[in-house]
Amino acid sequence: MTLPATIGFSPGDTRISRWPNGKKAVFQLQFDDNAASQLLGAIPELCRRGMAGTIYVNPANEPWKTHEEMWLHPSPGIEYANHTFSHVGATSFDQLDDELTRCGEVIARCYPDRPWPRLLSFGKPGGVPWTVTEEEVERALAKHHLVNRPPFKGYPFQFPGGLEEILSLVDTALASGGMEYYVFHGVGGDWHSTPWEWFIALLDKLEAHRGDYWITDPVSWHQYETERDASTFTVQADGEDEIRISLSCQADPVFYDIPLTLETAAPHDWTQALVTQASRSQYVPIVDGWIMYDAIPNAGDVTIDPAHP
């Protein structure tokens, strides 16, 4: 006999999913220096598979200038991040501020329909003079609404075990239920290149377990994690007829407005629910006694009513 997952829960009991849509882990595909092999090879492959990728751009470099018209129109699912304008490093706060400003201005041009300022990811450029203090870096990132990414992790600087070691990142993320990532420079060409066959093998492994992973960009991951940990909710009404939930978050809604995934225990005789927040309604099936749906913090109460197919 299979027992429902809601044993021990009452109708209206609610929890915030660790990751969107109940995904079990997070994986990020990051690319540094906007190399031509990223634009002409990796990005089309990501788009073909519907996978997200993040390009840490240096708009002053030759690969950008050579293909500027293409770079200025990012493909769906592709996010740009601030890697400084010219990748020359920073020896003073003023230089760092200028580099971040100019890079951010170019990124803003690439997404004209998005509000500005907004959160962007930041990746420190490597192999160049970097004598600014940690306090100066933090001050500059805060000024420009930049989120510092985790330390660089990519071949050939790491992963002496080659492809198998890279693929193990996927397993590590799932085992921990957390986030893993890999950073490319060239993909099958250019500099510090990860072989094309390795790139495809990594995507194939992610594709084979697509249902388990949220493949996303650093900012969305940061937003979801921040909102999840800063949010609270109250069940204002429950019972057989309607469940009403108020979801609030202390994070600044100007920069933290990504939907959270909530799971609410349904009354035993419900088979489908109508979930409404503000002007948005969605029909949601009941799976193992739970209603899973997205809600935006501070955007009004969520009402859940029984729905009949």
Residues 193 and 239 both lie in one domain: no
Task: Flag whether pLDDT at 3 surpasses 80.
Answer: no
- The pLDDT value recorded for residue 241 is 84
Residues 158 and 252 both lie in one domain: no
Residues 190 and 234 both lie in one domain: no
Residues 61 and 210 both lie in one domain: yes
| Residue 186 in domain | yes
- Considering only CA atoms, give the Rg of the chain: 22
> Domain limits at 161?
24-218
Condensed to tens digits (0 to 9), the pLDDT of residues 58-86 reads 999 999 999 999 999 999 999 999 999 99
- The pLDDT value recorded for residue 1 is 30
| Residue 6 in domain | no
| Amino acid at position 189, single letter | G
Residue 104: name the closest of 152, 64, 148, 145 by CA.
145
| Residue 167 in domain | yes
Residues 213 and 241 both lie in one domain: no
The model's confidence at residue 7, banded by pLDDT at 50, 70 and 90, is confident
Give the other-Cβ count within 10 Å of 123's Cβ: 24
Q: Report the CATH number at residue 141.
A: 3.20.20.370
| Residue 109 in domain | yes
| Residue 146 in domain | yes
- Domain boundary residue, one of 218, 234, 251: 218
| Amino acid at position 86, single letter | S
Task: Calculate the average pLDDT of the chain.
Answer: 96
pTM: 0.95
What's the CA gap between 10 and 265, in Å, rounded? 7
Start-to-end CA distance of the chain, whole Å, equals 27
What's the CA gap between 115 and 283, in Å, rounded? 30
The model's confidence at residue 4, banded by pLDDT at 50, 70 and 90, is low
Residues 41 and 178 both lie in one domain: yes
Residues 193 and 240 both lie in one domain: no
Residues 134 and 95 both lie in one domain: yes
- Number of domains the chain contains: 2
Condensed to tens digits (0 to 9), the pLDDT of residues 80-134 reads 999 999 999 999 999 999 999 999 999 999 999 999 999 999 999 999 999 999 9
- The pLDDT value recorded for residue 6 is 63
Task: Flag whether pLDDT at 191 surpasses 50.
Answer: yes
Average pLDDT estimate for 18-29? 99
- Domain boundary residue, one of 170, 199, 218: 218
* Residues contacting residue 85 through CB under 8 Å, at least 6 positions apart: 58, 59, 60, 98, 99, 100, 101, 102, 103, 106
